Amino acid sequence: MPATISVILTTYNRPDALAAALRGLAAQDDRGFELVIADDGSTGETADLIREASDNFPVPIHHVWHADQGFRAAAITNRAIAASSGEYLLLMDGDCIPRPCFIRWHRRLAQPGWMVGGTRILMNEEFTRTVLKEELPVHAWKRTQWIMPRVRGWTNRMLPMLFSLPDGRWRCRRPRDWKSLRTFCMAVWRDDLLQVNGFDEGYTGWGSQDSDLIIRLMHAGVRIKSGRHSSPVLHLWHPERSRDRAQTNKDELEEVLKGHRIRAREGISDH
223-226 and 61-65 as β-strands: parallel, antiparallel, unpaired?
A: unpaired
Domains of the chain: 5-270 (3.90.550.10)
Which of 270, 137, 108 shows the shortest CA–CA distance to 194?
270
33-39 and 223-226 as β-strands: parallel, antiparallel, unpaired?
A: unpaired
* The predicted structure's pLDDT at residue 84: 98
* The predicted structure's pLDDT at residue 250: 83
Tens digit of pLDDT at every position of the chain (271 positions): 788 999 999 999 999 999 999 999 999 999 999 999 999 999 999 999 999 999 999 999 999 999 999 889 999 999 999 999 999 999 999 999 999 999 999 999 999 999 999 889 999 999 999 999 999 999 999 989 999 999 999 999 988 888 889 999 999 999 999 888 877 899 999 999 999 999 999 877 776 888 999 999 999 999 999 999 898 999 999 987 666 677 888 888 888 888 889 999 999 998 8
Model pTM score = 0.94
* The predicted structure's pLDDT at residue 248: 82
* The predicted structure's pLDDT at residue 242: 62
* The predicted structure's pLDDT at residue 209: 87
CA 237 to CA 194: how far, in whole Å?
32
253: left (phi over 0), alpha (psi -120 to 50) or beta: alpha
CB atoms within 10 A of CB 186: 23
Q: Which residues contact 146 (CB under 8 A, 6 or more apart)?
A: 155, 158, 161
* Sign of the dihedral through C-alpha 40, 46, 52, 56: negative
